[in-house]
Structure 1
Amino acid sequence: MSPSPRRCCWAALPLLGVAPPRGSRAWRAIAMMGLINNVIPFTLIVWAQQTLPSGLASILNATTPLWTVLVAHAFTREERATPGKIAGVLFGFAGVAAMMGADILGGAAAAGVATAAMLAATFSYACAGVFGRRFRAIGVAPMQAALGQVTASAVVMLPLALVIDRPWGLPAPSAATVAAVLGLAGLSTAAAYVLYFRILALAGAVNLVLVTFLIPVSAILLGTLLLDEALAPRHLAGMALIAAGLAAIDGRALAYASRILRS
């Protein structure tokens, strides 16, 4: 976790008139959120993408809502599983099996382990989505939660990065690299997490993570256009099954089709 998102959030606090999080209860919850929503999934995803192409990794990332249905059913009363959500989970896991089955049967152990790491990351995201519901109850605003989460993540990751990566021995980053990091920090992390916690408070964990369905589409297009990556037919079939699962979980498309048939 780069310290840049943390600096972006801290810099925005005076402009928005928001105080930093206070109290041990709030910071304990924030620290746990940073662990399961940043440290664990980011580490697993970065490691897995050394083996998996970006398009396939993004498809696996879209399984987050499937895990969230299961976690929310187990730990909440408001977001219990329905027949449609259960059907969505089954479709989604069928999609995952379609994508990773051939690699396992063919003995591609590295791809199988990387796929498992991606799925573990999405499970961690699901746990974070459900866990983060408590911030509204304990009086932590979205901006405070975003600030605290990236700060806690930076505190954990900075010592590990110094020990493992030894950045002082690496060549200085280019201007393009610095610009990319700043863009990821300011827009894709700091601003995105403010929206994340706001939507979580208003719409719930399951609806929040449905946005991950948009990631495979953009990642596949960008990977194909910019990185010359290609997906096998089974990957496309897996994405179609995951899309069907997400539609079943969301329920609105099925409700609309039902109304059309009745009219």
Structure 2
Amino acid sequence: MKTGKATGSSIFLLGIFAFCRGSAYSLTTVTLATMSTGTVTFLRLAIGALALLAWAAVVIEDYRWVMRDWKPILVFAVLGNSLPNGLITLGQETVPSGLASVMMALTPMLSAIIAHFSLENEKLTSRAVLGLFVGFCGVFLVVCARGKINLNAGMICGFVALTLAALCIAITIVSMRFFRPTNQHGTATLSLVIASLTLAPFIHWSDFSKQLPLNVIYSCIALGLICTALGWLSMIELSKRASAAFMSTVNYLIPIVGMGIGAMFLSEHIFWTDALALVLIIGGTTLVKGGEARNASTRQLAEAAQAPT
């Protein structure tokens, strides 16, 4: 049963979910040292798909839902898995893991913009527009901090790839309003299977002809089992226990986890302006969410006023 109040189990699941998603950026950086973007993305999704298939074989008995859920399966496979994961991995070829995690904090703001143009009851208020401006100022600050250091064509392309990845995820979030799967666990499993198949043509087989360091092998396994499979399961279980507003706070935790792990284990530089940028992004997202809530309250009052007495 969903509740807007944070409970012990929901807070625990939120922490697990944030760790799964936030740690993926550092693990991806480790694997990219010796493997190509296509191979890393395929292995991540394929290992995650195999783990979820093994789990689904035990807990799922009825498969008639597949015919009803084929639309969300395809949407989540392409827009929610293969495209964003491929773009994130591509972006991390030039963008440090901590900075990549901050860039992905754009997702809730982009989803608000898309919802404004595609959903009749999700229009942006002036407060939400202010939030979008504040959030983009945060991203601009991140880029400017590196303007005199290593902001080259490669990093700019990385920023573009990460922004497109955030856009894909934002589209997926909005599309969930149209395609609601009847079996969330099964849909997540099949979408990962299809996503990994779509990435198979991008594998560089030469990556397997050389001796891979153990840390790269372990990172690939962790990306699949922890960041992907466990990340999906924790998100689904969290959605059963907590409200959407509570779940959205994970967008604040992922950059913190990503930047922290990158600084501790990969010796990545953190600028003092990154903390300020993160505050701006979080503040912008809060304003957007607040604008959405006010819009919803106004809509409910209008409906109540029009209701017959």
Distance 1:36 1:83 in 2: 29
Question: Secondary structure of 2:268's partner?
Answer: coil
Distance 1:133 1:198 in 2: 19
8 Å CA contact 1:90, 1:245 repeated in 2: yes
The answer on 1:91 being equivalent to 2:91 is: no
The answer on 1:124 being equivalent to 2:163 is: no
Aligned match of 1:261: none
8 Å CA contact 1:41, 1:124 repeated in 2: yes
Distance 1:175 1:169 in 2: 13
Q: 1:210 to 1:239 in 2, by over 3 A?
A: same
Deviation at 1:219, TM superposition (A): 1.5
8 Å CA contact 1:65, 1:246 repeated in 2: yes
Aligned match of 2:199: 157
Backbone CA RMSD of aligned residues = 3.0
Deviation at 1:245, TM superposition (A): 1.0
Distance 1:207 1:133 in 2: 18
8 Å CA contact 1:51, 1:114 repeated in 2: yes
Deviation at 1:108, TM superposition (A): 2.5
Question: Secondary structure of 1:50's partner?
Answer: coil
Q: TM-score when scaled to structure 1? A: 0.80
Aligned match of 1:166: 205
8 Å CA contact 1:99, 1:234 repeated in 2: yes
Aligned match of 1:182: 221
Deviation at 1:77, TM superposition (A): 4.1
Deviation at 1:213, TM superposition (A): 1.8
Deviation at 1:103, TM superposition (A): 5.5
Specify which structure has the bigger relative contact order, considering alpha-carbon pairs within 8 angstroms and separated by 6 or more residues.
2
Aligned match of 1:56: 99
Distance 1:94 1:179 in 2: 37
Spell out the pairing of 1:109-148 with structure 2 (5 A cutoff): 109-136=153-180, 139-148=181-190
Aligned match of 2:33: none
Distance 1:48 1:176 in 2: 21
Distance 2:207 2:221 in 1: 20
8 Å CA contact 2:128, 2:288 repeated in 1: yes
8 Å CA contact 1:18, 1:144 repeated in 2: no
CA offsets per residue over residues 134-174 of structure 1, 9 Å max, x none?
Answer: 443xx53110121121011011011221xxx1146532445
8 Å CA contact 2:76, 2:188 repeated in 1: no
Distance 1:115 1:17 in 2: 40
Structure 1 unmatched ranges of 5 or more: 256-263
Distance 1:180 1:169 in 2: 15
Which of 27, 51, 56 does residue 70 from structure 2 map onto?
Answer: 27
Distance 1:178 1:168 in 2: 12
Deviation at 1:197, TM superposition (A): 4.7
Amino acid at match of 2:78: L
8 Å CA contact 1:49, 1:114 repeated in 2: yes
Moved more, 67-76 or 207-216: 207-216
8 Å CA contact 1:68, 1:123 repeated in 2: yes
8 Å CA contact 1:58, 1:216 repeated in 2: yes
Question: Secondary structure of 2:182's partner?
Answer: coil
Structure 2 unmatched ranges of 5 or more: 1-41, 295-309
Q: TM-score when scaled to structure 2? A: 0.69
Aligned pair count? 247
Distance 1:81 1:199 in 2: 27
Moved more, 149-158 or 12-21: 12-21
Distance 1:7 1:78 in 2: 39
Q: 1:12 to 1:230 in 2, by over 3 A?
A: same
Amino acid at match of 2:196: A
Q: 1:48 to 1:14 in 2, by over 3 A?
A: closer
List structure 1 segments (4+ residues) > 6 angstroms apart after TM superposition. Answer: 104-107
Deviation at 1:216, TM superposition (A): 1.3
8 Å CA contact 2:145, 2:271 repeated in 1: no
CA offsets per residue over residues 82-129 of structure 1, 9 Å max, x none?
Answer: 444332211111111222246679973222221121111101110011
Amino acid at match of 1:158: A
Distance 1:169 1:195 in 2: 31
Aligned match of 1:45: 88
